[in-house]
Chain A
Amino acid sequence: EIVLTQSPGTLSLSPGERATLSCRASQSVSSSNLAWYQQKPGQAPRVLIYGASTRATGIPDRFSGSGSGTDFSLTISRLEPEDFAVYYCQQYGTSPWTFGQGTKVEIK
């Protein structure tokens, strides 16, 4: 199975700052079949990005995804108070689908 490793584990930033989250795969993710999800405490995850770089409906343009092959990233250009949460990457190109362990973006 494809193992996804996210870094850093925790990112401590202030509102207005830029956040860059990394997701590295143990083998190439086919057709850039990678998504990013945001999860807030007590809530279900919600999709932000799919196909490595396509924003899901209703997602603000401060969220952007990039990458291919084994290296992917999620960038939040200017952190808003509601963006402090846990972020997961997920590959759906090869079965079994797998998730990264998550990156927590916390208020500094």
Chain B
Amino acid sequence: QVQLQESGPGLVRPSETLSLTCTVSGGSISSYYWSWIRQPPGKGLEWIGYIYYTGSSNYNPSLKSRITMSVDTSKNQFSLKLSSVTAADTAVYYCARVSGWYLHYWGQGTLVTVSS
């Protein structure tokens, strides 16, 4: 059974860069697309983007200028960097595996708070 686990700082200062890693277990990161989704407290879901194991990616235009995603196949991990964060970036961040273009397996999520 594929499992995903997000990790990273729970608190980020305004204007700094949010960095998260998703570790995949129970399967290889190869041959799949991997995605990030976020959910502000008490609100709905927002798709951030996806990356293929080869490194090709597709980002949400609303965040594109601030996002970098990467893949480390040797560690079975993929990562998200979001720069110049503000309080509006406070959210639970989920990683997920894409299957047939829908979001099949999800991590449990990690809350990132942007505050000084």
Contact = CB atoms under 8 A, between A and B. Distances in A.
Interface residues of B, number: 18
B47 A98 contact: yes
A56 interface: yes
Interface residues of A, number: 24
B47 A99 contact: yes
B44 A51 contact: no
A1 B61 CA distance: 10
Given A44-B109, A96-B60, A102 B103 contact: no
Contacts, number: 52
Given A44-B108, A44-B109, A96-B62, A35 B103 contact: yes
Closest 8 interchain pairs by CB? A44-B106, A50-B102, A97-B47, A35-B102, A99-B45, A96-B60, A92-B101, A101-B44
Interface of B: 44-47, 58, 60-62, 94, 100-104, 106-109
